[in-house]
Chains A and B, each alone.
Chain A
Amino acid sequence: MTDLTIASQGFSYASFESAAMTRLIEDTAHAWLRSFGLTNASAKQRLVTALRDALAQDSFAANDRTNMQDLLDQAAHDTIGGWFAQVTGQHDCYGSGKFSMLRCAFLSANRDGIWSEHFLDQTRTHHDLAIALSVQMMLPTPSLKSCEMPRQTLERRAS
């Protein structure tokens, strides 16, 4: 029975979730939260819920652990990226570079744990967090300004 048929028959996904799947979702959530330096229970519950929702909305071969893992990772990435987009008001929060920068900024801003409760919370306003993130955002390089540096030759006068 696929998720699609479960959904079409009106059952909730969670009621059919196997123990292995629960473990996988929990571990995935734990890994992603740890990469943001978080142990907050509310944040974890929100991410777990988001992952379950993502699984419920998708169909895949339930016994394919690799695919599931990829799907969960992608779901976690998208969920957090979406939340960052909501917080910062910017839409380009999903790319690996920007996403990592925001992760850095969040880790810096949340050193004393004051933003842990806010993580993935869609109901709050995040104006202060947005300011905190902008203050902590790293900028590795300025804007690219490409040009060619021609090789000189030893045979002619330089132009």
Chain B
Amino acid sequence: MNRISDPQNDPTPDHPKGSPDDAVAYDPAVRLRGPGVGARRFFLFGASLAATVYAAWLMADVLGADQLTIMEMVVVAFFSINFAWISLSFFTGIVGLILRGLKLDAITLKRLKPIARKGPLRSKNVVVIPVYNEDPNRVFAGLRASYESLAATGEIDAFDFFVLSDTRDPDIWIAEEMAWAKACTDLNARGKIFFRRRAENTERKSGNLKEFCETYAANYDHMIVFDADSVMSGDAMVNMAYLMENNPDAGIVQSPPQPTGRQTLFARILQFISRVHGPTMSAGLSFWCMGSSNYWGHNAIIRVKAFIECCGLPVLSGKPPMGGHILSHDFVEAAFMRKAGWRCWLIPQLEGSWEELPPNLIDFAIRDRRWCQGNMQHARLMVADGFKPLSRLHFFMGVMSFASSPLWLLLLLSSTIATLQNTQLTYSFFPGHFTMFPQWPVDRSFEMLVLLIFTIGMLVLPKIISILMVCLGRDRKQYGGVMVLMSGLLETLYSALQAPIMMMLHAQFVFSVLTGNQVGWDAQERDDAGVPFRAALKTHRTIIVIGLIWGAIAVFVDTAFFWWLSPILAGLVLSPWLTHYSSNLAIGKAARRMKLFVTPEEYDSPEELRALERITAENGGGGDVKDGLLRLIEDPYANALHSALLPARKPDARTAIEIGIIYEKLARLGIESLTRDEKLLILSWPVKPLDQIMAGRDASAEKSPDVLS
């Protein structure tokens, strides 16, 4: 263990038995270590604390010029908590900007240079893709693009691919099997690309991975976890494996995934700002997190042995949503890795790591609702025994990414109440008795302006500097040339309008979770789906009403206060229009033509993304998910493949009777008569009766063969 890299007194973790790091000289050029970890954190947290204290003092000074009421104290308290949150983000961004500006490696603080591998990989790696009711065409297009890119590096022998299906939709299930077989055939990758489906999807994604770990993962040294929409370049995957080989104490190496591929205005705006400002934040995070970085659940490589030994997730006491199985497993897995002494690294310069975003604000919010439920569970883990302080901070940050919204809302509401109270008060020039000197009202408008600029500056300054850096950089053409400034300006305007909407939605989500409401588990929307205006209006109607009432109260209280609140009120009232128009594909494409929100991948697409586009086009843009059962009946190959992929077992007597009844129903009433669960049941067992139906041999089928079609 390298003491320079982390001052915390970690136990050195055991290295995987038989792994290449037992008796091999490590490449010093890629050793993950750097100077001054304690100093980095002292600077970052110290600066954040100092800025928060200053801002809190300024706020107390502004509000308490005359006298600080209880409600104003509440305002100061909420403001301080929220300010600490944005302050940490601000200084992370500032550090990231400095590192990017000086082209320094965030970990070693040396000149940034690409990873130069010395020799081929020695480890055996697997790319795992857990899927749940996802579009098989998109999943396998991503897999194939990544596979082709990996093959081009010459390191394909060091990798296998594994699709871990938890799919419950019978049609998607069969389509996945067919897509797997096609990928194996087309890529000549039999024995390289594997497929398995879980019969029971307990514990969702983490359970899916757990089951894989307990069955096949021990064949490998490392696993790269993909999301259903992930694509990675071969170089990125090989570099990650190389980093793991040469850093035997690394448990997780996380690449910063860049969003790409969506064309709606909403997604394009997010893709643009993630591409411009994301590397800044990644560099800043990596700078102070060092070996205690977080794991984001995908586009990361994991040491299999370490993961198996220390990342079996506990079940939280109590009922969901705050108890039960852990939903947002990634943070927790990283925390357990750290607890056992393994290091988790975020490597900002790992390029070629891609993901996709939800296409519109509604789907974005739906994803956030799911994440909110998982992240709120982390509030319980923050105080659990044995975790490292930085792991607790990651939990806190996860909680605050949602809990900050109700806190901002409470801050704004308490400000409104405080202003209302102040308007009801009659100013007393002689608050004390027996004095000859009046107490004049103090004008704090200058301090208020300073505080406003200070707060807004903390929020947007790193982002603005990131945009300026791109604009002044040599590769600005890849971001649309000088239009990058216009893109940045419009993004700032858009995010300002969107922020209050997300604040209201997140506040609603947090309230919903805390009052015991749960959400289900659905696949994310991965097409460029638009939101009709009526749907947007229906979704946001409560927000609009709140905005209008709040605005009316503000006007009643104080016109100046109304204008103070107007950016927030505008976001709330305009929410359906914002959601509807930002989801519009035509507007997104028009923006592209105007060189707005352009990312380098659109200017000069990397090979793996070109492959993804090509394969998606070859698949005809999806639509290959047919009726799975009908497919098995009609297509002998699909039938044989499905039989081959089923586990070898026999149904018990009760199940056999149930299956018999369903086949009877199928023969008499046709496929349309079967429910999803009925289809799932008969597809879960050997399909010999389907052969009988195919042959028209079954008496019922003989009578009415057309009912099956």
Check B214 against A140 for contact (C-beta < 8 Å): no
One of B217, B340, B637, B644 near A159 (C-beta < 8 A) = B340
**B311/A152 in contact, CB under 8 A:** yes
For window 123-159 of A, CB contacts with B under 8 Å fall at 137-159
CB contacts (< 8 Å) of B219 on chain A: these are 142-143, 145
Complex Cα gap A155–B380 (Å): 12
Residues facing A in B653-709 (CB within 8 A) are 686, 688, 691-692, 694-695, 697
CB distance from A79 to the nearest CB of B (A): 15
User: Whole-angstrom distance between the alpha carbons of A36 and B691 in the complex?
Assistant: 10
Measured between C-beta atoms, what is the minimum distance from B395 to chain A in Å? 12
- Measured between alpha carbons, how far is A100 from B687 in the docked complex, in Å? 10
Tell which of B181, B340, B686, B697 has the most Cβ of chain A within 10 Å: B697
Residue A22 at the B interface, CB < 8 A?
no
Find the residue from B184, B314, B643 having the highest chain A CB count within 10 A: B643
Given contacts A138-B181, A148-B214, contact A154 B641 (CB under 8 A): no
Given contacts A31-B695, A141-B216, A147-B214, contact A152 B313 (CB under 8 A): yes
Contact A97 B312 (CB under 8 A): no
Cross-interface CB contact of B215 among A34, A146, A153, A154, cutoff 8 Å: A146
Give the CA-CA distance A77 to B299 in the complex, in Å: 45
- Residues of chain B lying within 8 A (CB to CB) of residue A46: none
Complex Cα distance A63/B216, Å? 49
Query: Counting CB contacts under 8 A, is A37 at the interface?
Result: yes
* B interface bracket (residues with beta carbon within 8 Å of A): 35 or more
The closest CB in chain A to the CB of B641 belongs to: A104
Chain B residues, CB < 8 A from A156: 385-386
State whether B311 touches A149 (Cβ < 8 A): yes
* B643 pairs with A103, CB closer than 8 A: yes
Q: Is A101 an interface residue (CB 8 A)?
A: yes
Q: Indicate which residue in B195, B213, B640, B648 contacts A103 across the interface (CB closer than 8 Å).
A: B640
Q: Which residues of B contact A145 (CB under 8 A)?
A: 215-219
Q: A53 at interface (Cβ–Cβ under 8 A)?
A: no
Which residue of the partner chain B has the closest CB to A139?
B191
Nearest chain B CB to A99's CB is how many angstroms away? 8
Smallest beta-carbon distance B80→chain A, Å: 30
**Nearest chain A residue, comparing its CB with the CB of B189:** A139
Nearest-CB residue, chain B, relative to A150? B312
B323 CB → nearest A CB, Å: 12
B194-228 vs A, Cβ < 8 Å mask (1 yes, 0 no)? 11100000000000001001111111000000000
Interchain CB contact under 8 A, B643 and A96:
yes
Asked if B354 is at the interface (CB within 8 A of a chain A CB), the reply is no
Taking a contact as CB atoms under 8 Å apart, the answer to whether B339 and A158 are in contact is yes
Q: Kindly name the residue among A28, A142, A143, A158 whose own CB sees the greatest number of chain B CB atoms within 10 A.
A: A158
Residue contact B386 to A157, C-beta cutoff 8 Å: yes
A95 in the interface, Cβ–Cβ < 8 Å? Answer: yes
A107 within 8 A of B: yes
Cβ distance B567 to chain A, nearest Cβ, rounded Å: 42
A96 to B688, CA, bound (A): 10
Cβ A37 vs Cβ B643 within 8 A? no
Question: How many residues does chain A have at the interface if contact means C-beta atoms less than 8 Å apart?
Answer: 42
- Assuming A36-B636, A150-B312, A152-B313, is B695 touching A27 (CB within 8 A)? yes
Q: How far is the CB of B308 from chain A (nearest CB, A)?
A: 5
Judge whether B636 and A154 touch: CB under 8 Å: no
State whether A96 touches B648 (Cβ < 8 A).
yes
- Given the known inter-chain contacts A103-B643, A107-B640, please indicate yes or no for A151 contacting B312, CB distance below 8 A: yes
On chain A, the residues within 8 Å of B519 by CB distance are none
A100 to B62 alpha-carbon distance, docked (Å) = 78
- State the CA gap A28–B696 with chains docked (Å): 10
> Which B residues touch A31, using CB under 8 A?
691-692, 694-695, 697
Q: A118 contacts the other chain (Cβ, under 8 Å)?
A: no
Whether the Cβ atoms of A154 and B381 lie closer than 8 Å is: yes
B65 at the interface (CB under 8 A from A): no
What residue in chain B is nearest A143 (Cβ atoms)?
A: B219
Q: In the assembly, what is the distance between CA of A146 and CA of B210, in Å?
A: 12
A30 touches B695 (CB 8 A): yes
Smallest beta-carbon distance A43→chain B, Å: 14
Residues A147 and B218 in contact, CB atoms below 8 Å apart: yes
Report yes or no: A142 in contact with B216, Cβ–Cβ below 8 A: yes
Beta-carbon contacts of B169-195 to A below 8 Å, as 1s and 0s? 000000000000100110000110011
Q: Which residues of B contact A28 (CB under 8 A)?
A: 697
Residues of chain A contacted by B425 (CB below 8 angstroms) = none
Contact of A138 with B310 in the complex, beta carbons under 8 Å:
no
With both beta carbons as reference points, the residue of chain A lying nearest to B196 in the complex is identified as A141
B92 within 8 A of A: no
In the complex the two chains form, what is the Cα distance from A139 to B316 in whole Å?
38
Q: Is the CB of B637 within 8 A of A104?
A: yes
Residues of A within 8 A of B191 (CB): 139, 142
A149 touches B214 (CB 8 A): yes
B155 in contact (CB, < 8 A): no
Contact A37-B636, Cβ < 8 Å, known A148-B214, A158-B340 = yes
Q: Are B644 and A104 in contact (CB under 8 A)?
A: yes
Across-interface contacts of B637 in A (CB, < 8 A):
37, 104, 107-108
B10 to chain A, nearest CB (A): 12
Q: How far is it, in angstroms, between the C-alpha of A139 and the C-alpha of B645 when the chains are bound?
A: 9
Of B216, B339, B640, B697, chain A has the most CB atoms within 10 Å of the CB of B640
Question: In the complex, what's the smallest C-beta–C-beta distance from B202 to chain A, in angstroms?
Answer: 13
Report the Cα distance A95→B686, complex, angstroms. Answer: 12
- Say whether A142 contacts B194, CB under 8 Å: yes
| Residue A115 CB within 8 A of the other chain | no
* Cα A97 to Cα B191 with chains together (Å): 16
Closest 10 CB pairs of A and B: A31-B695, A100-B644, A100-B643, A103-B640, A145-B218, A154-B384, A149-B312, A158-B340, A104-B640, A151-B312
Some 14 contacts from A to B, beta carbons below 8 A apart, are A27-B697, A31-B692, A34-B695, A35-B695, A96-B648, A141-B196, A142-B191, A145-B218, A145-B219, A146-B214, A147-B308, A148-B214, A151-B315, A154-B381
A interface residues (Cβ-Cβ under 8 A, vs B): 27-28, 30-32, 34-37, 73, 95-97, 100-101, 103-104, 107-108, 137-159
